[in-house]
Structure 1
Amino acid sequence: MLDFLPAPLKGTLAALLILCNTLVLFPVLLVFALLKLVLPITSVRKGCTVVLSNIAWVWIGFNNLLVDLLHKVDWDVRGVENLSREHWYFVTCNHQSWADIPAIQYVLNSRIPLLKFFLKKQLIWVPLLGVAWWALDFPFMHRHTKEQLAKRPELKGKDVAATQAACEKFRYTPVTIFNFMEGTRFTPEKHNRQNSPYKHLLKPRAGGTAFVLGAMGEMIHTMLDVTIVYPDGRAGFWDYLCGRIRRIIIDVRTREIPGEFLGMDYENNRETRVAFQRWVSEIWAEKDARIEALKAAPTPGPGR
């Protein structure tokens, strides 16, 4: 609707409106977060969790509305027809730019449970945000370093056990855990430095995903394998806000996670570790070929 405005003006307007959206909703979120923190009553905490998730959905929904209002993006979205907010998912995606997260949120918001990330335990002490992450049930990881394990071997396996206990709340509440398997954004320099066997991808880091699946036990059976492509070339978050990204392809493949990897002991079971790395490598090879095909002959879609 306002796509005729100069790109820098659209970007500034979008940033200001997102800031206003945050300033309005964040205090409300903190109120319910504090209620959840100080009232250890199961029914109250569950009610607060529902409200908090809805606040997050509203925040994302408003940001998505800004994209529709300010920009004219040609969205080519595939494979989202049978997704459900009543299901448990593990989501991974190739990492092209800082625009990936808002683009994925645009497509998946309200279609699946709120995207959540495993966070380091220390981040719970970040002012304001730590409380918000806790209130939104972002899972916090308990990871011991190799040096700590060398000094205290009895700690081996306790990090996964502690994280499993923290994830018990998800057994009866659908959740989506998100993780970039590459661990960092793709750049030609990183690609060359890694000597990656893939044309469009960095090497996947199987260990982080294995930790998630091990900690979540048998709660998550389904992986959403998301592939994102910018046919006009990679661009950053500011370009996304300015409307310079004119076309985005998001392809979603639903995969059942093999039972042998649910609740696996990745660190101590070599056979499982090798099998999991092979499975991830196969997924990555397919994704690399898919990106090549999408770049070569992208087909416009009707949008969301």
Structure 2
Amino acid sequence: MLASLPSALVLCFSLMLALTNTAFFTLIIVMAALCKLLPIAPLQRQSTRVAHAAMAGWLGGNSLLLNLCNRIDWQIQDHSRLNPQGWHLIISNHLSWTDIVVLGHLFRGRLPVPKFFLKYELLFVPFIGLACWGLDMPFMRRYSPAKLLKQPQLRGKDIDTTRAACAKFRHTPTTIINFVEGTRFTPEKGASHNAGYQHLLPPKAAGLAMALHAMEGQFDKLLNVTLHYPDNPDKPFRDLLCGRMGRIQVLIEELPMDQVPQGNYQADKQFKRAFQQWLNDLWARKDAQLARWQAQPSPSARASSASCVSE
């Protein structure tokens, strides 16, 4: 356990481990992806298996980083039953790059390797962008209202990206992770949206609805994950690398697929309204859960209170 060392030393070791882990497995994934460009079906299938194995190795390296460099107090409520050979869709709130590491750690070996819906800008991040491209992860572009007014042909591009990506996922057991807020939550962003949530941004329904529609009932389960870093609210990823990560609170809920609205989000306006309302209600419950967690006293506060009582 390295968390007892000075933060600067832990940071140096964490960065070295994270970069080595990412560079090594990215190289394998990219080489496998290049082999998939050859029109030889058996080679393409084998290349996909190699890329997925490398992704699993990368997740393992991240788990090592979590456990070796931090003393994490995991507080997990898990109400799911998972199938490592099935198709799963995970939706989660989004706070930090730490979310990717945590979700990978929680579901590693329990589900097929995850595919993330990513912002287009991440394509150009060294190592990470290439690996995600090699794993056929969809990169989503976000256009401002002003740009859409000037170029209306850009409307629906994210939906087309979702449909094309999901077509590739139909033939191999897959876990798709969608941060439906579209970006990381900050109090400033939350205040600017004024959407009625205290701890969340408003969810974007189109990509999620299109993923469900494109897979045509192939998902076995929809998992609703809520993440919270009560001891590291400002810079959780920095604190993780420095060995200062404290509590990680997680709620995993399994939503029966027969209770999840499914339909044509683009063509059916009635379904579109119903799906948006369903997702908004789900987000309101998630916001309430985060509020309950935030209302809990910290361990230091509880210890101080107990000390005062004993005195």
Q: Could you give the per-residue CA deviations for residues 160-191 of structure 1, whole angstroms, max 9, x where no partner exists? A: 57754553332231111111122222222222
The answer (yes or no) to whether the contact 2:29–2:54 under 8 Å persists in 1 is yes
User: How far apart, CA to CA, are the structure 1 residues paired with 2:126 and 2:12?
Assistant: 27
Query: Deviations along 1:204-245, whole A, 9 cap, x unmatched?
Result: 122232232233332225211000112224132111111222
| Distance in 2 separating the partners of 1:298 and 1:106 | 26
Name whichever of 220-229 and 132-141 sits farther off.
132-141
1:175-214 pair list within 5 angstroms = 175-214=174-213
Partner Cα separation in structure 1 for residue 49 and residue 258 of structure 2: 31
Matched-pair contact (CA < 8 Å) for 1:140–1:166: no
Cα distance, 1:148–1:210 mapped onto 2, change above 3 Å: farther
Q: What is the match of residue 35 of structure 1?
A: 35
**Equivalent residues of 1:77, 1:107 under 8 A apart:** no
TM-score (norm 1): 0.83
Q: Which runs of 5+ in 1 are unaligned?
A: none
Unaligned runs of 5+ in 2: 300-311
Partner SS, residue 37 of structure 2: helix
Deviations 1:253-289 (A, max 9, x none): 0112347744x32122110011001110111111112
Shift of 1:84: 2.2
Identify the residue that residue 21 of structure 1 maps to in structure 2. 21
Alpha-carbon offset, residue 70 of structure 1: 1.6
Secondary structure, aligned partner of 1:186: coil
Does the aligned pair in 2 maintain the 1:60–1:105 contact within 8 Å? yes
Q: Distance in 2 between matches of 1:83 and 1:298?
A: 32
Q: Secondary structure at the match of 2:224?
A: strand
Contact 1:95 1:182 (C-alpha < 8 Å) held by counterparts: yes
Hey, what does 1:249 align to over in structure 2? 249
Q: Percent identity at matched positions?
A: 40
Does residue 93 in structure 1 map to residue 107 in structure 2?
no
Q: Distance in 1 between matches of 2:138 and 2:127?
A: 16
Distance 1:130 1:233 in 2: 27
> C-alpha separation between the residues in 1 aligned to 2:45 and 2:83?
20
**1:120 & 1:32 partners in 2: Cα distance?**
23
CA gap 1:275/1:55 in 2 versus in 1, 3 angstroms: same
Q: Which residue of 1 aligns with 2:302?
A: none
2: distance between equivalents of 1:243 and 1:125?
28
Q: Report if the CA contact (8 A) 1:182-1:203 is conserved.
A: yes
1:198·1:285 contact (CA, 8 Å) conserved in 2?
Answer: yes
For residues 125 and 295 of structure 2, what CA distance do their matches in structure 1 show?
44
Q: What is the CA RMSD across the aligned residues, in angstroms? A: 3.3
Aligned to 1:73: 72
Closer/same/farther in 2, CA of residues 131 and 184 from structure 1, 3 Å limit: closer
Q: Which amino acid aligns with 1:241?
A: L
Count, aligned residues: 295
| Cα distance between partner residues in 2 of 1:98 and 1:121 | 15
